Amino acid sequence: MFKHIGAACVAVFIAAPTWAQEAMTYLSPDNFEDTVFSVESAILDAGLVIDLTSHTGEMLERTRADVGSDIVLFENAEIFSFCSARLSRKVMEADIMNIVHCPYRIFVMQPGGSDQVTVGFKSMPDGAMQEIQTLLDGIVKEALGQ
């Protein structure tokens, strides 16, 4: 059962650019380590504090056998979580339920068996959260030198 779920997850990540309403993704011209460094630096350069770096790829690889899977989902995958006090207050004053989007996250991933590195974030809903999407998009573009 888990083999099929894992394959579906890889397919979803690889197909992400076609799901514009779900995620904004960019291909990195650099290797994973350099891309992670660039994303982390761009977040910090934007005056934000990274609350958590989730080592998602390591966790999934470490637990792969425990869940009965032989599929390597990622060569590498990290997720940076952070917030902006000023912008978070602004979007939550517009709609208090915007709390569901906080903290904001940017991922860097390299699928199993691939050299391609993808950077992205969850698309935000229309309205006040578009300011957060603009922030995330700017951070990613800065990290990728765009």
Structure tokens at 9: 């997850």
For 35, 64, 106, 115, the CA distances from 55, given in Å and listed in that order, are: 15, 14, 12, 18
pLDDT digits (tens, 9 = 90+) for 133-145: 999 999 999 999 9
- 81 dihedral zone (left: phi>0; alpha: psi -120 to 50; beta): beta
What global pTM score does this model have? 0.83
pLDDT digits (tens, 9 = 90+) for 98-126: 999 999 999 999 999 999 999 999 999 99
Indicate the class that CATH gives domain 2-143: alpha beta
Each domain of the chain, given as residue ranges in start order, spans 2-143
